[in-house]
Structure 1
């Protein structure tokens, strides 16, 4: 198949490497001509350009841009594509994207590959990024069945497990396991920075090791990405933060009241529940 990929960073570049290795013809689009040249050199794309007209013959197009650019990109594509062209995206928020694009392009299906690394950009692209991960598709009752079948087949080529759900269900689930940790982690770092005793601060900085690094990692990520998560998944993230705050309040109360049995019970419950989210099923 002829596949278009708009945005040749980590996700788009990795899609190109893997799908091209499965004999698909890849048409790459980037805002930067040097990225286009590099995509061809690295085997990410067969052809690459800054001009969307390259995609006129694409059968499926993956939009791998930041969330804010997804809808404007579809609007730019609309005049140059055949109505049969399937468009999908890889954004981490689905409901507002699906709601905005469906009236513009009926052959659209929201997507979200649950894969990534700390590195970004085309240099970070890797052909096995998706292997053994999950790929979420969020069709609606109006999504053409053929579009669903075509994208399901492509996810098999990525060696990833396909999960299908509604856009709203996706957004609340991802708020818990992907978006909330960013704001919890960021709050941890911000709280540490509120310590006024500089001797304590310097010692904490020296003693910080794997536990702090693991817990604070996502809070030290791209601020623009975190802001977009909050903007486009506002309700689900706010709900998750409120419930998280309730759990913190329970722990604070147990500690202040010296209710060690209650605190141990809470910690025991979370010890047992962690595997429900970290063990692959």
Structure 2
């Protein structure tokens, strides 16, 4: 439980912002929410995610800490508008799923900034999807750089701990390479799986495939059926690391294709054995 009760601002009241509001407000912090839509502001207050909400950034003037929870493309432009209203002591953090570009752009503009990325999500989006305890036992990455004030790191760390999340520290570039493998690549792989199935030219076979699809297909296609805006943002803001991951994935597909063409079942079995063995290192 956080010892100090603070005024905490949340800019962007979607799934992550709304869920943050629930948890931090339940600890006695005073939550100031800002959203582009008046209807979202009213909803956030009505469900108890925030204490006050406005479409006006000036509401954040009273905040001691601000979480930017907008889509990736809006983080930097929103910060540029917001800093006119903040005291220089205000600590700012974000929740974007790519870090290097964001940290590089914001660091010269705001000293008290620390990049962050809670790895908690659902397929639903918007304030309606917000829920309590979304971050419990989930990874929450913080990406301070050499110039990040230790006082800012300490405050954000305490808030994140109070959410029940598991904190990881790394450099922004390390973060982007790691998430390109386990978060951004799966979206592209999953999307291309769905696209490949749709290329079936016999409509009866396609319809049969759609009827027969069950848990295996559901698991492997889920992230490719998600928010397209988010997928584009991942590619745009983590382009280099994602391209590297996609090239490696293509290489692995080519290897499997060759083994099947050569009817080399022994090596194929070894490959499938070793990947099966490695899976628990990534997921329970």
TM-score range, shorter chain: over 0.9
Q: Name the SS of the counterpart of 1:97 in structure 2.
A: helix
Gaps in structure 2 of 5+ consecutive residues: 1-5
User: How far is 1:194 from its partner?
Assistant: 1.0
Contact residue 18 and residue 49 of structure 2 kept, 8 A:
yes
**Aligned: 1:222 with 2:227:** yes
Q: 1:100 aligns with which of 105, 111, 124?
A: 105
Contact residue 123 and residue 227 of structure 2 kept, 8 A:
no
Listed as ranges, the matches of 1:83-232 within 5 Å are: 83-232=88-237
Q: 1:3 aligns with which of 3, 8, 18?
A: 8
Of residues 58-67 and 30-39 in structure 1, the stretch that sits farther from structure 2 once superposed is 30-39
Distance 2:85 2:34 in 1: 14
Tell me the matched-pair count: 279
Q: Name the SS of the counterpart of 2:260 in structure 1.
A: helix
Q: Which residue of 2 aligns with 1:250?
A: 255
Distance 1:187 1:215 in 2: 11
**Aligned: 1:60 with 2:54:** no
Distance 1:6 1:30 in 2: 6
User: How far is 1:259 from its partner?
Assistant: 0.3
Distance 2:36 2:118 in 1: 22
Moved >3 Å (runs of 4+): none
Q: 1:19 aligns with which of 9, 16, 24?
A: 24
Distance 1:119 1:202 in 2: 27
Of residues 98-107 and 193-202 in structure 1, the stretch that sits farther from structure 2 once superposed is 193-202
**Aligned: 1:47 with 2:52:** yes
TM-score (norm 2): 0.97
TM-score (norm 1): 0.98
Distance 2:29 2:71 in 1: 24
Q: Name the SS of the counterpart of 1:278 in structure 2.
A: coil
Contact residue 18 and residue 127 of structure 2 kept, 8 A:
yes
Distance 1:47 1:223 in 2: 31
Distance 2:76 2:120 in 1: 22
